[in-house]
């Protein structure tokens, strides 16, 4: 069996090859994609892809199985890959694969769900704490030479997670892990997820009205696009904290900045945005009490290793079937 490893500089070909070596007898060929040194983006009709169609087509000659995180498996690529039977994408969702074209060509597609759940959950907790305790602002102040005793004033201090009510919008692998960590802090956890049949949840309006911290973990779908806007933010208790490590399209960021500037929203922390990279003229860059990270909640060494292992498991299962 001939396998193409189309790794990048995060889920590397070395990681993929080592994981496959323990599970499958195969003849791997490799292609190294430029991500993340070169940002991903749309390629033809697929999104969040790295590399180009022509290079991938050439690398797929005689290949039975392809393993990648970012390669652009467009309709053109899939049509040219005469021997291809399986594409494994080292991500939770195969946004860089034309699924309709793959199905029409009889090519199976597998993913690695949960690969970054631990990393994203831990990053979420870090953002919640950073926002609650104003850590980035305090850090910047000390580095600038400030040592302000006035920050002990009752109207200036932060809040604790213990005893707080935290609402989780979305309760998949990441949301569940966040919930368990929050419970260990002593927080009351509310959940809104119409698709999580095994948990007693609440409707979105109730979650917003009761939560002093809200963290978003839903998938971006036509139903969830723009899920939180001005009307939803108005339901939050005054001074609440909002965190998003899921997808930027869930949230109206203009409404968030309005709520921060008015003081209605106590703080916010975001790893994802409706436009990435964050535009130079984004109001978030100057908004008060906001913590920003550049879409790297899932970026740990263990995430890359786990993705490679899960991908190798998927290849092995396909070979045995």
- Which residues, including other chains, have CB under 8 Å from residue 88's CB and lie 6 or more apart? 65, 66, 67, 68, 109, 110, 111, 112, 311, 314, 315
State how far the Cα of 106 lies from the Cα of 30, in Å rounded to an integer.
23
Planar angle of CA 246, 303, 61, nearest 5 degrees: 100
Cβ(62)–Cβ(27) under 8 Å? no
276 is catalytic: yes
Q: Catalytic residue, from 27, 45, 209, 276: name it.
A: 276
Classify burial at 227, counting beta carbons within 10 Å of its beta carbon; exposed 0-12, middle 13-18, buried 19 or more. Answer: buried
Longest CA span, the chain: 70
177 is catalytic: no
Q: Is 86 helix (H, G, I), strand (E, B) or coil?
A: strand
Pairing of strands 41-43, 46-49: antiparallel
Q: Catalytic residue, from 2, 210, 295, 305: name it.
A: 295
Q: Catalytic residue, from 247, 285, 301, 320: name it.
A: 247
139 is catalytic: no
Planar angle of CA 55, 93, 207, nearest 5 degrees: 150
Pairing of strands 240-244, 265-270: parallel
Which residues are known catalytic residues? Answer: 247, 276, 295
């Amino acid at each position: 069996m001939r396998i193409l490893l189309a790794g990048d500089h995060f889920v590397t070909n070395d990681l993929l090859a080592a994981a496959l070596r323990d599970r499958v007898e195969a003849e791997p060929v490799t292609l190294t994609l430029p991500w993340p040194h070169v940002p991903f983006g749309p390629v033809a009709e697929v999104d969040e892809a790295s590399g180009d169609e022509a290079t991938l087509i050439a690398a797929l000659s005689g290949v039975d199985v392809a393993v990648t995180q970012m390669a652009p498996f467009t309709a053109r690529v899939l049509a040219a890959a005469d021997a291809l039977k399986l594409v494994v994408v080292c991500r939770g969702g195969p946004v860089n694969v034309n699924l309709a074209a793959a199905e029409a060509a009889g090519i199976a597609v597998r993913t690695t769900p949960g690969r970054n759940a631990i990393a994203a959950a831990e990053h979420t907790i870090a953002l919640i704490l950073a926002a609650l305790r104003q850590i980035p602002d305090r850090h910047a102040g000390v580095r600038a030479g400030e040592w302000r005793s006035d920050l002990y004033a009752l109207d200036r201090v932060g809040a604790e997670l213990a005893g707080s009510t935290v609402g989780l919008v979305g309760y998949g692998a990441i949301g569940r892990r966040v919930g368990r960590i929050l419970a260990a802090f002593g927080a009351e956890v509310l959940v809104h997820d119409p698709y999580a049949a095994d948990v007693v949840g609440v409707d979105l309006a109730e979650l917003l009205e009761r939560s002093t911290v809200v963290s978003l973990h839903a998938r971006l779908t036509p139903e969830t696009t723009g899920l939180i806007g001005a009307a939803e933010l108005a339901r939050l208790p005054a001074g609440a904290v909002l965190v998003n490590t899921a997808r930027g399209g869930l949230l109206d960021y203009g409404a968030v900045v309005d709520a921060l500037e008015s003081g209605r929203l106590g703080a916010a922390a975001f790893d994802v945005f409706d436009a990435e990279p964050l535009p130079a003229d984004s109001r978030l860059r100057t908004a008060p009490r906001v913590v920003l990270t550049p879409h790297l909640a899932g970026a740990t060494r263990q995430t890359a290793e786990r993705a490679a292992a899960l991908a190798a498991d998927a290849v092995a299962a396909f070979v045995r079937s």
